[in-house]
Structure 1
Amino acid sequence: MRVLVAAFSHIFAEIVDPTGLFTDSRGLTRDTYAIKKELPAEDFNFVVLGDWGGLPPPAYTSELQLNGAKALMEYAKINPPEYVLSIGDHFYYNGVETVRDRAWERTFENVYDSQEMMVPWYPTMGNHDWLKLPEGTEGGQKGNGWAQIEYSAHGTGRWTHPDLFFTTEYTTSAGIKVKTILVDTPTLTGEYRDGAPRPIHSDENCDDPYNLDCELRALHPLDEEIAEWAWEWVEQELANSGDADYLFVTGHYMILDTGGIYDWELFRRLEPLMEQYKVSAFFQGHKHTQEHAVRSPKLVPAGAEETPGTVHFFTTGAGSLYDTESTIFQQLTGGFPGRSGCHPRFEENGNDNSRTVCHYYWATTKNDGEADSGFTSVNISADRAQVRFVTSEKINEDDKFSIGYEFDIPPRNVQ
């Protein structure tokens, strides 16, 4: 079966050539990549899958990953996707070194192997895809993100990863245009060896989370030259997206989760741009949960009027591993982590913890054999983008997946 599927999937093989150039204000010029496709149907589906990278050799997979993969492939039989947004931590714990690593076959190709999965996978990498072992460490793999880009010319041909930063644009037969900007967040803020970028509390500039003069700890971009180029490129892409009916941005690290600000550098530099250019949603991973949050109206620049957030933040990092925080709080209290806006103590405030407003929170707490993982499905139509959180949970014995949450986002021209 896998041989037949692999042969069939070569129909989808696509090596993406550069579609342009972008020169930043310092004079650095890099190739740019924009994937554009016309669809014959008036609506379509796509999947967002994060943190699905199994386990290191010799295991290669985890129970959560396999359970989630089965649910995804069953769901896709009913709702076949046009593509998959794969948002990082593709291979635990130290990525891959080359295009010949066995993890490509054991963790990816042979796990997501149904016909419905033989569509383009558009990846953006996570910290584990870049993670380097300490100097002098013997054995094991060392994360080489560039090998994941190179793999686009190998395997079954569905892995479509032209660069660290690129865009996709799908247009339906009804003229509905969906644009996605894919961002390599570790390149921008680091591989998180010592946690996410966060403020130095003695710096009074950090009282305003939007203040770029606030000095951050643990801010270590993987490539400062490319990072500065990328910040300007992202703003240009956002500014040039006025004709998109739905505009999405996706990257591995969280900007806002239901607990508040996660990566302060991403928040202060990207969140205002997404608000300004009316981004529909940001899809993020890293945390092994499913969450929906928006910015609290109280979280605004110093002296500004309170205004609610307009960008929806969907965390979908439940592809392969437990979320430790959720597991601990479930065992201790039977409920949500205390920092989450979905904790009962914030109910009187409309689930607003003064940083974010929580709409939904889920994480598996079952034992390994029965542990569940999840993914996000998005259905695009002229009327709305319907976002679904789907898991491998079985409410009834005959269930093969469960839809835990749905949310409709209107087109940008009617917001």
Structure 2
Amino acid sequence: MASRRQTARMGLALTFLWTRLIVFSFAELQRFEHSPKDDGSLSFLVIGDWGRRGLFNQSRVALQMGKIGQKLDTDFVISTGDNFYDDGLKGLDDPAFEESFTKIYTAKSLQKQWYSVLGNHDYRGDALAQLHPFLRKIDTRWLCLRSFILDAEIAEFFFLDTSPFVDAYFIDKEHTYDWRGVTPRKAFLHNLLKDLESALRGSTATWKIVVGHHAIRSAGYHGDTEELIQKVLPILEANNVDFYMNGHDHCLEKITGHGSRIQFLTSGAGSKAWRGDTTPYEPYDKDGLEFFYDGQGFMSVQLTKNDANLAFYNVFGKALHTWRVSKELHSAV
């Protein structure tokens, strides 16, 4: 019987063919379904920037996620990218997958599906390995694609691969990025934006949520992502998106206003935080930046047809900021 390492190598040998299939079928975003609870409600956790083999408080955050997940009876977990540090996975047989994921998020309440996107650090490794379905044989919870749709009846989630939008990565001389399946970049982005707009326009879900790694609006270290403001934000605005959720900045934050109905929510505090190194800056005033925390933590979301209840938690499981959004009024209460 072939060993796991041998099986991984055989799987990797099929990656080229699999990648070509993904690229040429990109005209329509792949769609997945996740049933809500019997009463129609939905509950999930959001975590980003986490994979450090349990270090930098990753294990402590995971412990609290398990407790909150049990309390809220969460249906799944969303990862906003930068899943494995510092340079993604080296291949399908990289032990970092189990050491940073399977062996860390062990709570019973976290044995649910994880829906993940890639971050810029993931692109510095073998990005195709992280996307490969072979990883689901190691841990069935894992589902990571570049961009896809999750239909959960009362909510539709649009997972967006944001790294290819960022110009700086394509001129970065210090790091190597795995752009297989992304180039030619112009065509890739054109198709992605076209598919995103079409999917959002056709959605009849009560809640529309877009998930990406990079922030559109952020008061953190990296700040706004201008390429997303120019190319993605107008599409979200035109199609009544409720929340844009991201990682990248290692903090927890909530930004509203700026002429937008969208709430911009950062949950990128799954392990190493930049505490003391980051100070919220202009142009975010007290009316736009409603919450900012530069320590480790995660976010929870509970949805019903009429309301969304959201919360940010720190590494001790303390709720730092909670709020409710009424769908009828679409304003924080």
TM bucket normalised to smaller? 0.7 to 0.9
Q: Helix, strand or coil for the counterpart of 1:249?
A: strand
Give how far 1:402 is off. Answer: 0.4
Give how far 1:159 is off. Answer: 0.5
Q: Which residue pairs with 1:327 in the alignment?
A: 276
Q: Which residue pairs with 2:200 in the alignment?
A: 238
Residues 63 and 22 of structure 1: CA distance in aligned 2, closer, same or farther (over 3 Å): closer
Match of 1:188 among 150, 165, 170: 165
Residues 69 and 29 of structure 1: CA distance in aligned 2, closer, same or farther (over 3 Å): closer
In 1, distance between residues paired with 2:25 and 2:303? 36
| Deviant stretches of 4+, over 6 Å | none
Q: Which residue pairs with 2:266 in the alignment?
A: 315
Give how far 1:190 is off. Answer: 5.3
Please tell me the residue identity of whatever aligns with 1:339.
E
Please tell me the residue identity of whatever aligns with 1:404.
L
Residues 291 and 96 of structure 1: CA distance in aligned 2, closer, same or farther (over 3 Å): same
Deviation per residue, 1:137-162 (Å, 9 max, x gap): xxxxxx1111111144321211122x
Match of 2:121 among 109, 128, 136: 128
Match of 2:152 among 166, 170, 175: 170
Match of 2:98 among 105, 111, 118: 105
In 2, distance between residues paired with 1:63 and 1:29? 37
Task: Indicate whether 1:403 and 2:319 are aligned.
Answer: yes
**Aligned positions, number:** 298
Please tell me the residue identity of whatever aligns with 1:245.
T
CA contact (8 A) 1:165 1:184 kept: yes
Structure showing greater Rg = 1
Task: Indicate whether 1:383 and 2:306 are aligned.
Answer: yes
CA contact (8 A) 1:191 1:222 kept: no
Q: Helix, strand or coil for the counterpart of 1:265?
A: helix
Structure 2, unpaired ranges of 5+: 1-20, 173-178
Please tell me the residue identity of whatever aligns with 2:51.
G
Q: Helix, strand or coil for the counterpart of 2:43?
A: strand
In 1, distance between residues paired with 2:225 and 2:89? 25
Q: Helix, strand or coil for the counterpart of 1:257?
A: coil
Q: Helix, strand or coil for the counterpart of 1:181?
A: strand
- Counting only pairs closer than 5 Å after superposition, residues 124-273 of structure 1 correspond to structure 2 as 124-131=117-124, 143-150=125-132, 151-161=134-144, 163-171=145-153, 177-189=154-166, 192=169, 222-223=182-183, 224=185, 225-241=187-203, 243-258=204-219, 262-273=224-235
TM-score, reference length from structure 1? 0.67
Residues 28 and 69 of structure 1: CA distance in aligned 2, closer, same or farther (over 3 Å): closer
Give how far 1:91 is off. Answer: 0.6
CA contact (8 A) 1:289 1:316 kept: yes
Residues 186 and 385 of structure 1: CA distance in aligned 2, closer, same or farther (over 3 Å): same
Structure 1, unpaired ranges of 5+: 1-20, 55-59, 132-142, 172-176, 196-219, 297-307, 330-335, 365-372, 394-400
Q: Which residue pairs with 2:294 in the alignment?
A: 363
Task: Indicate whether 1:85 and 2:78 are aligned.
Answer: yes
Give how far 1:193 is off. Answer: 7.2
In 2, distance between residues paired with 1:193 and 1:29? 22
Deviation per residue, 1:53-109 (Å, 9 max, x gap): 11xxxxx33132111111111111211211111110111100002221100111000
CA contact (8 A) 1:189 1:222 kept: no
Q: Which residue pairs with 1:13 in the alignment?
A: none
In 2, distance between residues paired with 1:81 and 1:168? 16
Residues 261 and 91 of structure 1: CA distance in aligned 2, closer, same or farther (over 3 Å): closer
In 1, distance between residues paired with 2:266 and 2:169? 18
Match of 1:291 among 228, 231, 253: 253
Q: Helix, strand or coil for the counterpart of 1:232?
A: helix
CA contact (8 A) 2:254 2:265 kept: yes
CA contact (8 A) 1:280 1:409 kept: no
Q: Helix, strand or coil for the counterpart of 1:73?
A: helix
Same amino acid, percent of matched pairs: 23
CA contact (8 A) 1:22 1:32 kept: no
In 2, distance between residues paired with 1:180 and 1:230? 15
CA contact (8 A) 1:340 1:358 kept: no
Please tell me the residue identity of whatever aligns with 1:168.
L
Q: Which residue pairs with 2:109 in the alignment?
A: 116
In 2, distance between residues paired with 1:190 and 1:159? 29
Match of 2:34 among 15, 33, 37: 37
Please tell me the residue identity of whatever aligns with 1:145.
A
Please tell me the residue identity of whatever aligns with 1:361.
F
CA contact (8 A) 2:92 2:135 kept: no
Residues 42 and 222 of structure 1: CA distance in aligned 2, closer, same or farther (over 3 Å): closer
